[in-house]
Structure 1
Amino acid sequence: MEAVGRRKAHWLFNAGSDKNFLGKRRPQEDMVTSAVFGSIRLMSPKDRLKAIELLLGRDAFSASDFAEDQDIAVDLWPKLNGPAGRRHVEPDVLLHGAGKTTIVEVKWHAPLSERQLEQQIEAVGVENVGAVILLGEAGIEEDELGVPCFRRTWRDVSRDLKNWCEAARTPLARWVETMRAFLQETDMGRIFNGLPVPNDLGNVAFRFKSTGRPPWFGQVPKDVQLVRYAFERHKLKENS
């Protein structure tokens, strides 16, 4: 994995305490960055463009101004010259395409540090940055140093992955399926997928059981009423 090979999370497998996962440095972010963007680096240019659009969202993708006829280079954890008093600045992901660079900062149960995005923009060069995207729950301004900024939660990504449809079993379709399954197993990306369908629909019926009259029958109640429901499962009798 990219994160382990780049020594971003090589110590993770020997971690003996939850403090390693809850402190300032969180290997989860690097592992997620590696799993998501590392796999995108292996795609064809056409699939890579579509995968990045699904991750960033339509608005951020449009602001990045990527060209369909040009490939997008994915740079993970580049070490850029930092401001005075700091050796370097390290964005999570830089996406280079059509003469512009898009900065992607990945957050997983963590806030932004002070001036984090501003320093990254300065390190890349304000004139070179097309957009900044934060993947996570952290707060973000609408722009930094005149550069448009977008926040996109992992649940936003999950919804777009769920709604994306392609019948053919292409490499992109398999990637979408893998990312969707992965995020669905996490607290950051899990979304409601509906109630499960019983296997034996021919022999099972469901009904709501209430001790009182359902509020949607008759007149609209003037006062708020609390009605409790129980969800029961009943076997249907087979026809003789």
Structure 2
Amino acid sequence: MFDAIVARKARLNSVIDGAGKQPREDLVTSALFGPLKFLLPDARAKALQVLCGYEFGADVQISLWPFFKSDSESAEPDVVLEFTNSGRRNYWIVEVKWGAALGKDQAGREIRTVQSGYCRRGQVTEGKRNVIGYSLLGAERKHEKALNALRLSVGQMHVINDWSWKEMCDRLRQLADTSSDAGLIAWAKLAADFLSGEPQGTVLGSWPEMELPGEYHFYFDLDEDFALQALPAVLPTMYSFREAND
């Protein structure tokens, strides 16, 4: 999908235009996280660190749109990461937003159902799950209230990170510039190119380096009368000022 949009073969803002349910967020989630399965484990961990703000190990399992059901509620997070840290199996949730709001208690419901719900769709390991973090990609000002409430409700037991698409675009470009893994560089550059071409992720980027001119000396030749004839009337006064200081 990223390639098609970057090449202007498709436009994300017109995908299934007029449909009641827009799949844009799901398409972005798929294009962003799907290719990570083909990267080497260390490269995949570095990519996920940039996306989520947490240093994962090399054994991360990625599940897209698993569905969890408990006795009283259900949830379908966009991404659930399963990994081992200090000998314990841990879980991380990622929610991807492309302009949509967070639903009422959406993040809290996702955390609770992943912790203790039955995974009805997906390959997430059954049993009690230790959810240690939550990342929101595509964060906007309208999400702040929900995120602040989430941080208050879960306390310090969870890491809650949020990135706007502009911030993520910059993080991906930095990853591409500093990585030595060819697959990771290709993924990061393509994802950043996609985001920089969309209003949600457009960034100014770095200013080009300016080369300052060297040291030069100028002088006025009083014999060159023809040069003075073409100057505006105010400039002879400037010329006289310069002459007085010579």
Partner residue in 2 for 1:124: 114
Matched, 1:182 2:168: no
Q: Is the 8 A contact 1:143 1:149 kept in 2?
A: no
In structure 2, relative to structure 1, the CA distance for the partners of 1:185 and 1:92 (3 Å cut) is: same
Structural RMSD (CA): 2.6
* Aligned pairs for 1:81-100 within 5 A: 81-84=69-72, 86=73, 88-98=74-84, 99-100=89-90
Q: 1:46 aligns with which of 42, 48, 68?
A: 42
Match runs of 1:221-236 below 5 Å: none
**Inter-CA distance 174–149: structure 2 relative to 1 (3 Å threshold):** same
Q: How many residues align?
A: 172
Task: Give how far 1:144 is off.
Answer: 3.8
The amino acid across from 2:46 in the alignment is K
SS at match of 1:40: helix
* Deviations, residues 101-135 of structure 1 (Å, cap 9, x unaligned): 00000001011000101111111117611101111
**Alignment partner of 1:79 out of 59, 62, 67:** 67
Instruction: Pick one of 152, 159, 163 that aligns with 1:148.
Output: 159
Opposite residue 170 of structure 2, the aligned amino acid is R
Q: Is the 8 A contact 1:117 1:144 kept in 2?
A: no
Q: Could you tell me which runs of 5 or more consecutive residues in structure 1 were left unpaired when the two chains were aligned.
A: 2-11, 198-240
Structure whose CA Rg is larger: 2
CA contact (8 A) 1:90 1:120 kept: yes
Q: In the aligned structure 2, how far is the partner of 1:113 from the partner of 1:26?
A: 16
Moved more, 130-139 or 120-129: 120-129
Alpha-carbon distance in structure 1 between the residues aligned to 2:99 and 2:131: 26
Taking structure 2 as the reference length, what is the TM-score of the superposition? 0.63
What does residue 108 of structure 1 align with?
98
1:216 matched to which residue of 2? Answer: none
Determine helix, strand or coil for the equivalent of 1:179. Answer: helix
CA deviation digits over 1:7-40, x for unaligned, max 9?
Answer: xxxxx9983xx443xx6x4311000000000111
**Out of 198, 203, 223, which is 1:191 matched to?**
203
Q: Secondary structure at the match of 1:145?
A: helix
For residues 169 and 14 of structure 2, the distance between their equivalents in structure 1, rounded to whole angstroms, comes to 27
Equivalent in 155, 177, 183 of residue 171 of structure 1 = 183
Q: Conserved in 2, the CA contact under 8 Å of 1:83 and 1:119?
A: no
Q: Secondary structure at the match of 2:193?
A: helix
TM (norm. structure 1) is: 0.64
What letter corresponds to residue 59 of structure 2 in structure 1? Answer: D
- The CA deviation at 1:177 is 1.0
Q: Which runs of 5+ in 2 are unaligned?
A: 2-12, 117-128, 210-246
Partner of 1:41, secondary structure, is helix
Q: Which shifted more, 144-153 or 97-106?
A: 144-153
Q: Deviations over 1:33-75 (max 9, x none)?
A: 0000011122111110011111123xxx15xxx33xx410000
Change (3 A) 1:187 1:44: same
Whose helix proportion is higher, 1 or 2?
Answer: 2
User: What code does the residue aligned with 2:105 have?
Assistant: R
Between 1 and 2, higher relative CO (CA 8 Å, sep ≥ 6) is seen in 2
Conserved 8 A contact 2:43-2:181: no
> Structure 1 vs Structure 2: percent identity of aligned residues?
31
